[in-house]
Amino acid sequence: MAYQRPIIRVQKLHEHIGHKAPVFGLCNDDNGNFYSASGDGLVAKWDSQSLSDAKALFQSNVPFYSIGLIHNQILACGSSVGMVYFYDLMNKAFIKSVIAHQKSIFQILELDPQFFVTIGGDGTLNIWNSENLSLVFQFKISSESLRTAYFHQEHQWLILGSSDSKIRVFELKSLKLKLLKEWKAHEPSVFSLNLTKNYPYLISTGRDASIRVWNYENNFELIHEIPAHIQTINHLALSPDEFYMISASMDKLIKLWDIKNDFKLIKVIDKNRNDSHTASVNHLLWLKYNDSIISCSDDKKIIQWAIDIDPQQKE
């Protein structure tokens, strides 16, 4: 029987405008707010409900490439020169900046209430104490950039993707790393990683414009290879129920995929049909709070989308 796509309605809710350079990083809290980090050095707070104008939190004289939320209270922002900046949302105060890496910081990831990590263009992994925001350990992982990280809480796996084409899976216990597996996954660089709890899937993207799916219950065997875009896939995000996925690419497109039906393509969001981005789409959020999607781009815009998927109706 031929695959029938679920009915999907996409509505552009709002363009959040305020940045003066490409927007590279997004993160969100539990209260309907999200935060952006940009090449203009501005870190801003946005309300996904009221769709009000941004609140500028602080400004740096260097570009920001990444942003993460620690304890739902502290924003950690990674810069192009390897410094991480900390801002206290509760007290509305800048805390400090610390030299963390020798090159750009590409991701900030909370592991648990006690620790978070940063990864960078210098190929190092830094582990930080969340309470006092101090550096605990630094590990040299690769001679090339570390681009993406994912932490599997149940197995205590820290999974890293890098610009040497590899995915590395480490066991992280008592702040010690044990390499479990590494393999060449994308050419020449791995850009995004995600893992779905409904299926034993590790999902990766790369500069080769493909999405690849690895079965982590079967030694990370490759089970799907999808020529998904025509340029680098910058980021992946899962729906709150983790049955659907969105991808963002340098080809200016956002694509929606049906995970539970062998990753079938079910929607393309583009400029002509949806008044979408006009340049590389860099990062995505799929908000559980109001089931909307947030995308940011080199075109300096942040767009909020309402996505309604009805799996009971087919087209």
Structural domains present in the chain: 1-17+185-315 (2.130.10.10), 20-147 (2.130.10.10)
pTM of the full predicted structure?
0.96
H or E stretch at 25: strand 23-28
Measure the CA–CA gap between 181 and 179, rounded to whole angstroms: 6
| pLDDT above 70 (res 104) | yes
| Residue 314, pLDDT score | 65
Helical residues (DSSP H) of the chain, grouped into ranges:
271-274
pLDDT category at 3 given cuts 50, 70, 90 is confident
Residues in the chain: 315
What pairs with residue 59 in β-bridges?
Answer: 42
Residue type, 34: F
The mean pLDDT value for 43-63 works out to 93
pLDDT, mean of residues 221-242: 97
- pLDDT, tens digit, for every residue of 158-168? 999 999 999 99
Q: Is 82 left (phi over 0), alpha (psi -120 to 50) or beta?
A: left
> 249-298 pLDDT, tens per residue?
999 999 999 999 999 999 999 999 999 999 999 999 999 878 899 999 99
Non-local (6+) Cβ contacts of 210 within 8 A are 186, 225, 226, 227, 228, 233
Q: Which of 206, 156, 199 is nearest to 184 (CA)?
A: 206
